[in-house]
Amino acid sequence: MGKPPTSASSGATRTGGDSAADLAKLLSQPSSKPLSGIGLTTSPFIDPGEKGESLANRSLWRKLKRLFALEKPSDEVQVSVFGPPVVSPGQTVRVMVNLHRPESADSVRTLARAIQNDAELLGTGHVLGDIFRDTEVGVHLTVTGAGVSKSLLTFIWRGQPRRLLFELHVPWEASAGPAVGVATVGYNNILVAKVEVNVDVLPRKG
């Protein structure tokens, strides 16, 4: 992701405590809440941790808007994860992470099932704060005891539903039972959404 413009080049007005250094210091403080589950890959995005409440109140989001001088249209964004709820050891399956506006949830679900007949809604959540259009968004997927061929994908948000496909491989030696996964969304390298998903691994045959 590219670096945000400085105040000299963007003409943004900053008030006290809104400098890039102050904001970077605020966002880089480690979170006291680790990802749930065992064997999950750490999300590559900065987790604001306990400051998530202020982010939800959009106070931090207003600072980001002033700092980055982003005056583009923005959208409330929902995250919906679809995939097979049950997998077998040795199987490779497709997991779809969809980012869309809340009013598109039903059409996104219908399209996901049309594209993949075994797809069920594995988890859903909302992004904290609006996403500005024509800006880059990152999505990361990790699942306990399974491999993801390319765990981090990026795209440009343009206000329309976007579907990202992840190839999930369950090794033959995988233990039977629930496998916990986490899909995270990063915006300007900040963790803005975390959706937990669960997939059941069947016992090995023979």
The domain spans of the chain are 36-68+75-201
pLDDT confidence of residue 122: 97
**And the tokens for 103?**
């009013």
- Distance CA(97)–CA(51), nearest Å, equals 25
135-143 and 92-100 strand pairing: unpaired
pLDDT digits (tens, 9 = 90+) for 12-63: 322 333 334 443 443 344 333 333 333 566 788 888 764 444 444 455 655 6
- Distance CA(151)–CA(137), nearest Å, equals 14
Mean pLDDT, rounded, for 133-161: 95
User: What is the Rg, in whole angstroms, of the alpha carbon atoms belonging to the chain?
Assistant: 18
Phi, psi angles (nearest 5°) of residue 27: -80, -25
Rounded to an integer, what is the distance from CA 20 to the centroid of its chain? 24
Mean pLDDT, rounded, for 110-121: 95
pLDDT digits (tens, 9 = 90+) for 179-197: 999 999 999 889 999 999 9
Dihedral sign, CA of 7, 12, 13, 16? negative
**SS3 call for 70:** coil
Query: For the whole model, what pTM was predicted?
Result: 0.73
What CATH class is the domain 36-68+75-201? mainly beta
